[in-house]
Amino acid sequence: MYSSEEILAMINQGLDDLQLDRQPLGLYKPIRYVLGMGGKRVRPVLMLLVYNLYKDDLQKVLPVALGVETYHNYTLLHDDVMDRADVRRGHPCVHKVWNENTAILSGDSMLVMAYQLVAQCQSEHLKEVLDLFTQTALEIGEGQQYDVDFEQRMDVRPEEYVEMIRLKTSVLLACAMKLGAIMAGVPEKDAELMYGIGESVGLAFQLQDDMLDVYGDYETFGKRIGGDILCNKKTYMLIKALEGANAEQRAELERWLMATDYNEEEKIAAVKALYDSIGVREICQSLINDYFKKAQTLLDEVSLSVEKKQILWQYILTLLGRKS
Condensed to tens digits (0 to 9), the pLDDT of residues 42-77 reads 999 999 999 999 999 999 999 999 999 999 999 999
184, 49: one domain: no
114, 180: one domain: no
Mean pLDDT calculated for residue range 183-193: 97
Of 75, 97, 120, which residue sits at a domain end? 120
Give the pLDDT confidence score for residue 324 in this predicted structure: 55
131, 115: one domain: no
Give the pLDDT confidence score for residue 243 in this predicted structure: 95
How far apart (Å, rounded) are the C-alpha atoms in residues 253 and 264?
15
Average pLDDT, the chain: 93
Of 67, 95, 120, which residue sits at a domain end? 120
Domain that holds residue 196: 126-324
- pLDDT band of residue 277 (cuts 50, 70, 90) is very high
Q: What angle do CA 235, 143, 220 make, to 5 degrees?
A: 50
Give the pLDDT confidence score for residue 315 in this predicted structure: 95
Of 71, 98, 120, which residue sits at a domain end? 120
Q: Which of 31-35, 180-184, 224-228, 274-278 comes out lowest in average pLDDT?
A: 224-228
110, 148: one domain: no
Which comes out higher in pLDDT, residue 115 or 83?
A: 115
How far apart (Å, rounded) are the C-alpha atoms in residues 73 and 145?
18
Residue type, 140: I
Give the pLDDT confidence score for residue 15 in this predicted structure: 96
Mean pLDDT calculated for residue range 277-293: 96
70, 153: one domain: no
Residue type, 182: I
190, 87: one domain: no
113, 147: one domain: no
Question: In Å, how far are 24, 100, 119, 322 from 105, measured between CA atoms?
Answer: 12, 9, 22, 39
5, 103: one domain: yes
Condensed to tens digits (0 to 9), the pLDDT of residues 9-25 reads 999 999 999 988 889 99
Give the pLDDT confidence score for residue 154 in this predicted structure: 86
100, 183: one domain: no
CA torsion angle for 309, 199, 185, 110 (degrees, to 10)? -120
Counting the structural domains of the chain, the total is 2
E strands present in 135-285: none
Mean pLDDT calculated for residue range 302-322: 92
200, 323: one domain: yes
Measured in Å, how far apart are the chain's first and last C-alpha atoms?
22
Q: Is the pLDDT of residue 222 over 60?
A: no
Mean pLDDT calculated for residue range 264-284: 96
Which comes out higher in pLDDT, residue 7 or 20?
A: 7
68 dihedral zone (left: phi>0; alpha: psi -120 to 50; beta) = alpha
Residue 150 belongs to domain with CATH number: 1.10.600.10
Per-residue DSSP letters for 22-37? -S-HHHHHHHHHHHTT
Which comes out higher in pLDDT, residue 202 or 151?
A: 202
How far apart (Å, rounded) are the C-alpha atoms in residues 167 and 138?
9
Give the pLDDT confidence score for residue 220 in this predicted structure: 60
Give the pLDDT confidence score for residue 221 in this predicted structure: 57
How far apart (Å, rounded) are the C-alpha atoms in residues 29 and 22?
9
116, 190: one domain: no
Give the pLDDT confidence score for residue 223 in this predicted structure: 62
172, 256: one domain: yes
Mean pLDDT calculated for residue range 111-127: 97
